Copies of this chain bind each other. A is one copy, B any other.
Amino acid sequence: MSTAGIQSTISADPAVRPTHDVAILGAGGLTGRELLDLLQAHPGLRPRFITSDRNAGRSVGEIFPQLEPAYPELCFSAHSTDIPPEMPVFLAVPNESALELTPHFIKQGNPVVDLSGSFRLHDRQIWEEFYRLPHSAFEFMDRVVFGLPELFRDKISVARAVANPGCYPTGSIVPLYLLGNLREQIQSVVIDAKSGVSGAGGRTEDAGFSFQSVYENFRAYKILKHQHQPEIQEYAAHKLAGNFPCEIVFTPHLLPIFRGILSTIVIHWDAAHIPTADSILNTIRSGAAQEPFLRVYDEPEQIELSKVQHTNYVDLAVRSRGSVTVIVSAIDNLVKGAAGQAIQNMNLMLGIPETTGLVASFA
């Protein structure tokens, strides 16, 4: 239960003094709060303009008392797009708003990371089916890069607009992608994911998220209907010749905790092409070897939320038996699943070292 694991003192290096003032639109929610929290220790990005209609005119310290010392002067403004064209923008707003704002900032030229789901899917029909909205700006879809650095680092580095991945997809796509060409031998994939309340989209005022309805309880939700399934389906196929070899089954659950997502991924291999346990493990290890935020453990029983909370890691481990492989992965939905990955993307877009503000270092 700590966050310092992701604080940076690279700033001790005068060469990387704060240079970019950034804007956070929709900074009054959990994601906005996490961005402010992490950016305290980022030497290259300084929150300068933050909006929240509900909290307009109030100081950061009033709304987030733990963050008071870091932002003694900063106050929330009412919603506004009056932002200089060079200022980097984090969008932590609902899909309806992001559908307008992301195109606006693309046109105006601001580097923008959109944390909503608005620009993550390239099949308009599927997007509108799962988000239950008409997509009013689909022509911009191809101008927004999917912000999963482990897959799209090069594209992100030259992008002006990034769609930050969903929390569930981050914990599911990365392990599947690490299987490389072995993915072609997959017969079926079943993902059972469990998230704390901060990742399950609960609003404080929803009865479904009252203490008494969550505590000493557990349930699944949006079964075969969750909008993150098509996102996993699309990007788990990255660098494959065609589509992903099967329809992925994804089931989200609500954990009576605050923070973290654990995903249990069960793969059945094509009986005619079952890879060896070693080849699977080696493929995953080599794929993860150079990645600063991936940790591969020896035993899947070692994977637990307490190891990744308040970090930008994806922890994972694998076990195989016969034609079955089980991969367990864990992330912090608010960090690698949202604000941390958004900063990682913004670092790449701005040419700042990728891990700045996310990994401490005494180098």
A5 at interface (Cβ–Cβ under 8 A)? yes
> Bound state CA distance, A193 and B322, in angstroms?
21
Q: Are B7 and A41 in contact (CB under 8 A)?
A: yes
Stretch touching chain B among A122-130, A163-171, A253-261: A253-261
A4 at interface (Cβ–Cβ under 8 A)? yes
* A218 cross-chain contacts in B, Cβ below 8 A: 194, 255, 257, 260, 262, 304-305
> Bound state CA distance, A5 and B60, in angstroms?
12
* A221 cross-chain contacts in B, Cβ below 8 A: 301
Q: Are A12 and B18 in contact (CB under 8 A)?
A: yes
A77 at interface (Cβ–Cβ under 8 A)? no
A11 at interface (Cβ–Cβ under 8 A)? yes
Q: Are A192 and B264 in contact (CB under 8 A)?
A: yes
> Bound state CA distance, A326 and B224, in angstroms?
8
Q: Are A306 and B216 in contact (CB under 8 A)?
A: yes
Closest to A246 in B: B268
Partner of A209, one of B17, B211, B301, B360: B211
> Bound state CA distance, A262 and B6, in angstroms?
28
Stretch touching chain B among A63-71, A78-86, A113-121: A63-71
Q: Which of A79-125 contact B (CB under 8 A)?
A: none
Q: Are B258 and A255 in contact (CB under 8 A)?
A: no
Stretch touching chain B among A135-143, A149-157, A197-205, A235-243: A197-205
Closest to A193 in B: B192
A247 at interface (Cβ–Cβ under 8 A)? yes
Q: Are B212 and A198 in contact (CB under 8 A)?
A: yes
A213 at interface (Cβ–Cβ under 8 A)? yes
- Supposing A9-B9, A11-B9, A215-B215 touch, asked if A220 and B4 sit within 8 A by C-beta, the answer is no
> Bound state CA distance, A268 and B206, in angstroms?
34
* A257 cross-chain contacts in B, Cβ below 8 A: 215-218, 256
CB distance from A307 to the nearest CB of B (A): 4
- Supposing A9-B43, A204-B207, A322-B247 touch, asked if A328 and B256 sit within 8 A by C-beta, the answer is no
* A223 cross-chain contacts in B, Cβ below 8 A: 300-301, 319, 326, 328
CB distance from A161 to the nearest CB of B (A): 27
Partner of A5, one of B40, B192, B259: B40
Contact with B along A42-62 (1 / 0, CB 8 A): 110010000000000000000
> Bound state CA distance, A71 and B9, in angstroms?
12
A178 at interface (Cβ–Cβ under 8 A)? no
> Bound state CA distance, A3 and B209, in angstroms?
24
Q: Are A256 and B255 in contact (CB under 8 A)?
A: yes
Q: Are B216 and A210 in contact (CB under 8 A)?
A: no
CB distance from A228 to the nearest CB of B (A): 16
- Supposing A4-B40, A37-B5, A46-B362 touch, asked if A319 and B224 sit within 8 A by C-beta, the answer is yes
* A5 cross-chain contacts in B, Cβ below 8 A: 37, 40, 66-70
The 8 closest A-B pairs by CB, nearest first: A70-B360, A192-B192, A3-B3, A219-B304, A5-B66, A65-B307, A11-B12, A211-B214
Interface residues of A (CB under 8 A from B): 1-9, 11-12, 14, 17-18, 33-34, 37-38, 40-43, 46, 65-71, 188, 190, 192, 194, 197-198, 202, 204-207, 209-224, 247, 249, 251, 253, 255-260, 262, 264, 266, 268, 295, 300-301, 303-311, 315, 319, 321-324, 326, 328, 359-362
